[in-house]
Amino acid sequence: MKANALFIIKFVMFITCVSLIIIYQKTAGKHELGMMLIGLAGLLGLVYVYNRKYI
């Protein structure tokens, strides 16, 4: 049960971060750049969590 819940949370976070990057890359500005950086930080966090067991 715990593994399924973690998978769902990670999947939703992945979709949210990718959506932030895709949606806000269409326009230019400080706000859009900030939102894309938040999305990128989220993706890097997910990669860190995934690779943490191999370190």
pLDDT (tens digit per residue) in 3-42: 899 999 999 999 999 999 999 998 888 999 999 999 999 9
Backbone CA torsion sign across 52, 4, 6, 1: negative
pLDDT band at 53 (very low <50, low <70, confident <90, very high): confident
Q: How far is CA 9 from CA 26, 30, 42, 49, 51, in A?
A: 27, 29, 12, 12, 17
Specify the higher pLDDT residue, 1 or 21.
Answer: 21
Residue 24 contacts residue 34 (beta carbons within 8 Å):
no
pLDDT of the residue at 54: 87
Q: What is the pLDDT of residue 55?
A: 82
**pLDDT exceeds cutoff 90 at 2:** no
